[in-house]
Structures are given as structure tokens and as C-alpha cells.
Amino acid sequence: MAQTSSMKLLGARNMSCIVERMEWNNKMDLIAYGTEKGEVVIQRLNWQKIVTFPTPGEDVRVRSLSWQMDETLLAVGYSNGKVALLDAESGTIISGLIYEDDIKKVYFSKAINSQENLGTYTCNVKDKHRRFLPKLQPMTNIDPCLKTLDQKSFPKGSPCFLVVIMRSGKVHLLLLGALQAGSIDLTQHILHPHEFDVYDVRMNGDCNAIYALLRDGQELILLHFQNQVLQDCMAPMLELATHCAHILETKNYINDTQQCLTEAWETVQLEMDNKLTRYANSQPYGVISAHFLELHVFGFATFEVEEFLFETLSEKGFKKIANSVDLSLSNLQSLVFKQLNGAAINMFYFLNTIAGFGRMSHFFESLISPDVANEAMRACGGFVLKVHELQRTIDTLAYDMKLFHAWMIFTILRLSHQEIPDDLVLTEEENIAMADFICAMEPELDDRSDDEDELDSQSQTPPPARSKFNLERVGQYLDNAYLTQLYPRDPVQLWEEMVTDNECLSNCKLFVPHDVNLSLVQQRDKMFNAIDAVSHKPTESISGSFKVSSTVICNDLPPMEPGEDHRDRDLVTCTYYVNEASRTDMLACTISGQEAMILEFSRAGDECVRCTRITLEPGLFTTSVSEDFCYLRFVDLQFYNESSLSILAQSINAGPGMRPHSFFIQFSLTAALNYSTQHRMGPLVKLSEATVSQSIHDIADGAAFKGLDGFSDMLAVSGSRKVATVLSDRKRKMTIFEMEIEEEEDDTEMSQASFLDISKESVLAGVPDAEKQEA
């Protein structure tokens, strides 16, 4: 006779929309669920909502949810190929990845515990760079609305992999969220790629192999892949991934700083556009320089200049503009000298460390290419030189603008016959610099032929914007285009002259190249491309090291019909658990509507798999079983812990006018050990032929049933939190149970009347308190 499961009702709610995914946090009383609208909601056990993350786009569905072990970090996979890392503690989206295909599942692996001995590399993941590098200043003045979602490393927790499974069969591994630790295309390892579906892909407990549950034609198979690089180089990979995480954070900081630079520069242009550039645009090109130079040298002002100085501008108005421009240029200087220069130095330090790792070929030969790492370091050095070049350009512009502002105030006071303070009187050197600045206000335009002018007049295209006050000297560095005004060569710098005269020095790999024609944006992109090339070696090495060691045939599947949604018809549901105590990897999956298979792979070196095949149907020798328990099919299943499997089953013989009912089954894996078979892992293991199904009703103390009213759709359990959540009523009703209730408690067993109370509570969940009292 079937036993009764000890469960206690904690509450039930009718949800405002359909819930498509659920996942419990294994440490805290937090459950995350995804809705049909693409939203992700995180709430507590008492139904208190912590945070709601909006959908990333229209018609986007939540495909998968996974909590990082013992942390508040949640990985979410969406149907548009996006993977987002959400922090429930801060309520923010901390990272994002974009893939080109629909996502099947995304999850965090268990924490990596690399085995170290005298012959292996000792991984020291402590942040040693904090001893030598100053802490980068926070970017407080960046507009969060304009900030793009960047890829970031895992901010906390033990080191682990993030595994992204695509519906196309491609699987991507990321270590610490920063290092692309290989990928695999499962369609390359099957016989029928046109009759293919991927159900689940899991890393083993040692993080050096994966299990892939697939459909290959009309067979349900499990492929076991081994990876020698993951097995031999886990400690060096952790060291490399740690530095890649620092590099990733520094790249994001550089992008944020460059965005702040652009905003600060736009502020400078806005201040100039208020009065000065508006006046300059009203004059023919070249006239302003001539008029200002005449005013500076001879002291004579034209009628247009006097009108601009006394009617349009005024001394007080110009001082206000001068202060605003000086403040904006000072902000630019701070961003370049402190933030951007500090980030460039940090980047050089991390790349230099990786280049040093590349010289230890015994440990890093399969992970780092020394030549590629050195090239990335040279590209970073070029970026440092470009930052210094931009810094000198801004310093020059700030000096010129300050000089121009002082001269303009001096001129206004002189022409209005007011007293001139002594600090406004320019020295001879400043007068010469002022004359040079006025001459460079409007750079000479490129000579254009008559044919080009005629073509422009025929096409009626507007002429290019003319430079006013030569602000393009700085603005050109923030555009993704080659520089039009190169930084003048300093005659005092002998090294630049030596490099120019000796081509062998400019081509030497020992020196950092200085690309004088590139803008800051181009130099940054060149550095980022060189850094991305560093990660190609570990990706290629790990991807090429995946080898199929065993193919396990689990069961036969019905043929796929053209245009038929086989995902709903196959009813293949799977769950995975790593048992550290017995050093085994446990995988349970439904192989048909009424049969399931529980596989236990040993990691102790004996290469064995234990198989338990169960069925919900009564066996030949089953007696004393209620008719309600005889005709059931699997709906969902999850490992509760290493010794229990939680199963959600649905009746299939409801009579006319009768509402179908469901059962929550707690299946004991310990009681089923006597009915399991052990097999040797070889190139081909046919479990479909070597095993027979055992009815769960015939396993003594094996299954405990709990009746549920209505049709149940989904299950989410947590053995560490001792809770279970059942989704029912077409995924609109969520019911939470407390598990492992003591026998002496009065409400351990639930009758049908209890479920009437659940329904009443669900209805009253959205009713005001006054109406509840009346009810």
C-alpha cells in the first residue's frame, strides 16, 4: 500500500499571469520564477516580493533559471539568446551575454575544487595587484540610462562554470563569467542531425567531463565527454580566469570612462555653442581669424566684432561662459589623467602578468600563446601612449582657451575704456601664443577641384561642418575615425626622431608602437581586439579536447513527424545532482510517459554506472494498490537530495465530468538500491536492453504519495530549505509545502478538505481585508 508523504501546507496563491519557470535558492528562502511576459520575480517564502526584473524585449520568454551555489546571483536564459546575471541582493542586472540562437538552459556548475599536489600548479587567486595598483575611482557622474549592459565576471562566491546550452546543440562554458572555457557542438557527435533535440547537458562533479542527454533519431541517448585539458589544467585555468576577470572589469571601466569623456566634451561644445560658435557660424570662413588677429595686433575692432562683444556678449556673460568651459576642460583633464590613465596602467599590469604565465609552458602551454599575449601587451602600451597624447592635447587646449578668455575680457575692458587689472595684461610670450591660437582657430580647408565642387552642387549635399575655434583637436580623439590634425612632434623628444629615422625600431616587437594616425576610440578597439585574441587559445584547446568516451542508449523514442512539436510529445524531463559524499553524479530522466531512469555515475575511477529503472504502472506482483495510483504519468521530477527524488505525477483515467488529480511522490533512492543494476562504462552501453523496469509500488518503503487537487504542471524543490513548490491550474496557481514534518504534528496529512481551504485562500489572496472578514 502506498505511504503518505509528510508535507505541511505553507500557502497558495493565484498568480496574476502564467509562470513558466521556478527555481529555489539552496541557501536562502528565495524562489525565482519567470512569467509569460518575460519578467523574472524573486520572492521569499512568505510571498514577499524582493525584486522584479523586466523583460529584455517584446515577446521574449524565460527559458531557464539557475542560482549560483550559496549566493544571491541568478542566471537567466531568454528566448532571444540573451543571458543575464541578476543580483537579488542589490536588485540589479550585473552582467549580460548575447548569443545568436534560442537558449535551452543555463546553469551554474558546482564550486570548483581543483586537486593540488607537488606536480601541479599552485593557484593563488588572491588579488595581489591591490598591493601595487591604486584603486580606480568610481564613475559617479555617468548616466545609468545611457550605460550599456556589459559582460562582467561573477562578483562573489566560489569559482564555478556558467554553462549555456543552445537549442541548436551548441554548448558554451564560461569560467568565472570572464574566460571562454571552450564550447562543443553536439550535432557533430550524432548520427541523425536532422532528428535531434538536446534535453540537458551537465558538468560532472570534478568539472572535467560533461553528460549530454540527447535525441538522436528515434533513440534517447546520453553522451559522456571527457576533457583532458580540464582535467590537467584546472588550477592554471583558475589563475588565468581570475586575471581575465580583472581585465574584463578594467575594459568596462575604460568604456565607462570614455563615455564620461564624450559627455564632458559635449558639455564643452554646448557652452561654446551658446554664443561663440553661433556668432562664428554667421561669418564667412576665415573672417573670424582675420578680424580677431587685427584686433589683437593693431587694436582695431570691426563693426561686427564690436557688436558681438558689447551687444551679443558682454563682459559678465563672457566670464560666465569662460568659467563653464574651464570647469568642463578641468573635468576632461581629471578623467584622462586619473581614470583613463589609471585603467590603462592596470590593464598593462594584468596583461604583463598573463604574458609571464605564458613563459611557464609546463602549466600554461595549452592555455596561453606567448606571442599573442605579448602583442596584446604592446597594443595596451600603444593605448597608454595615446592616452598621454590626448592628455597633452587637452592641456594645450585648456591653456589656449584660458589665454583666449583672458584676452577677450581684456579686449572688452579696453574697448569700453574701463580699468584693466594687471593680471589680465599678457606677456610677450603669451601674446605670441595668442596670435598662434587665433591663426589656428579656423584651419585651412583641403584644396578642392572644380569637378568636386560641381558634383557637390549637383548632388545637393550639405557641405561638411567647418571647424570653429579648432575644438576638433580634442574632439577628433573621441570619434571612430582617423585623426585629421596630428599631434605636433616635439623637437625635444629625441626618441620620436630616432623611430622616424630608423624603420627597424618602429617594426621591432620589443618596443611599443605609437600609431599617430589613430584616434583614442580606434586605439581602444585595437587593444580590445588584441586582448580578445588571448582567449582564443584556451577556447580552442578546451573545445578540441572534448572526446566522446561512452554512448549510453537509454530508450527508444517515437519517430518525429514533420511540423510536429516533438518537445511536448517526448515528455523527456531530467534532473541532476552531484553527490560529493559518494563521489557520484546522479541523473534522473523520464524515458516515456510512465517510465523513468535514474543513473548514478561513479567518479572514483572504476568507470561504472548504476541504473535504476522505475515505472508508475503496477507490476505483475503488485497488490493492494488503490485505483487512483494505478494510472499515472510523469509530469516533472527533481532531486530533493542525494537520497530522495521528488516526482510530480498526473492521473490519466479521469472519468467524464471528473476533475483530474495529481500526486506528489517522494521516492526513496536508498530503498531502490536493491533493484538497481551496475554496468561498465564502455564505448557503447545499451541500457534499454540490459535493464528492466520496476514498479515503484513493489519497492518496499520506496514511494510516499500525496494527493493534489487538479492538474499540476511543474515542480520546484529544495532539500536544504525543506520546501517544495507545485505549479497548477494551467501554471497560474503556486502552492508551497514544507517537507519532512514530524509524525506527531496534527497537520502532516492533508485531506481533500485541506485543498478546499487552499482554493479559498487563493481566491481571497487578492481581496481587500474588509471583504475577507465578511467571507
Q: Residue 770 gets which letter from DSSP?
A: H
Q: Measured over all CA atoms, what is the biggest interatomic distance in the chain, rounded to whole angstroms?
A: 117
For the cut 50, the answer to whether the pLDDT of residue 736 exceeds it is: yes
Which residue do the cell numbers 537530495 mark?
A: 641
Q: Reduced to 3 states, what is the DSSP secondary structure of residue 255? A: helix
Q: Is-contact 681 549, C-beta < 8 A?
A: yes
End-to-end CA gap in the chain: 40
534 closest CA partner among 248, 249, 340, 253: 248
389 closest CA partner among 419, 344, 354: 344
pLDDT given for residue 120 in this prediction = 59
Q: Return the minimum-mean-pLDDT range out of 229-233, 599-603, 649-653.
A: 649-653
For the cut 80, the answer to whether the pLDDT of residue 659 exceeds it is: no
pLDDT band at 496 (very low <50, low <70, confident <90, very high): confident
Q: Give the CA distances from residue 549 to residues 156, 225, 412, 555, 685, in Å, rounded to whole numbers and listed in that order.
A: 34, 6, 86, 19, 11
pLDDT given for residue 156 in this prediction = 64
Residue range 308-326: mean pLDDT, rounded = 72
171 closest CA partner among 97, 217, 85, 104: 104
Residue range 611-628: mean pLDDT, rounded = 83
* Percent of the chain whose pLDDT exceeds 90: 40
Query: Per the structure block, which three cell numbers stand in for 333?
Result: 583633464
3-state SS record for 486-555: CCCCCCCCHHHHHHHHCHHHHHCCCCCCCCCCCCHHHHHHHHHHHHHHHCHHHHHHHHHCEEEEEEEEEE
424 closest CA partner among 275, 308, 322: 322
Q: Give the CA distances from residue 216 to residues 398, 462, 514, 575, in Å, rounded to whole numbers and listed in that order.
A: 68, 61, 55, 20
Residue range 360-381: mean pLDDT, rounded = 93
Q: Return the minimum-mean-pLDDT range out of 153-167, 199-213, 474-488, 654-668.
A: 654-668
pLDDT band at 430 (very low <50, low <70, confident <90, very high): confident
Query: Per the structure block, which three cell numbers stand in for 126?
Result: 588572491
**pLDDT for 236-262, tens place per residue?**
988 899 889 889 889 989 998 988 888
Q: Is-contact 112 160, C-beta < 8 A?
A: yes
Tell how far CA 711 is from the center of its chain.
37
**pLDDT for 30-81, tens place per residue?**
999 999 999 999 999 889 999 999 999 899 999 999 999 888 899 999 999 9
Which residue do the cell numbers 485543498 mark?
A: 755
* Segment of 308-322, 556-570, 739-753 carrying the highest mean pLDDT: 308-322
For the cut 50, the answer to whether the pLDDT of residue 546 exceeds it is: yes
Q: Return the minimum-mean-pLDDT range out of 128-132, 150-154, 538-542.
A: 150-154
Residue range 493-516: mean pLDDT, rounded = 79
Q: Return the minimum-mean-pLDDT range out of 463-472, 555-564, 692-701.
A: 463-472
Residue range 273-291: mean pLDDT, rounded = 71
Backbone dihedral region for residue 610 (phi beyond 0: left; psi -120 to 50: alpha; all else: beta) = beta
**Hey, CA dihedral for 701, 706, 712, 717, is it positive or negative?**
negative
**pLDDT for 200-243, tens place per residue?**
999 999 999 999 999 999 999 999 999 999 998 888 988 899 88
Query: Per the structure block, which three cell numbers stand in for 256?
Result: 565607462
Q: What is the mean pLDDT of the chain?
A: 82
Q: Is-contact 81 98, C-beta < 8 A?
A: yes
Main-chain phi, psi angles of 508, to 5 degrees = -75, 135
pLDDT given for residue 423 in this prediction = 78
Q: Return the minimum-mean-pLDDT range out of 177-186, 397-406, 663-672.
A: 397-406
Residue range 173-187: mean pLDDT, rounded = 89
Q: What pTM, to 2 d.p., does this model score? A: 0.81
pLDDT given for residue 750 in this prediction = 42
pLDDT given for residue 643 in this prediction = 93
d(CA 537, CA 369): 7
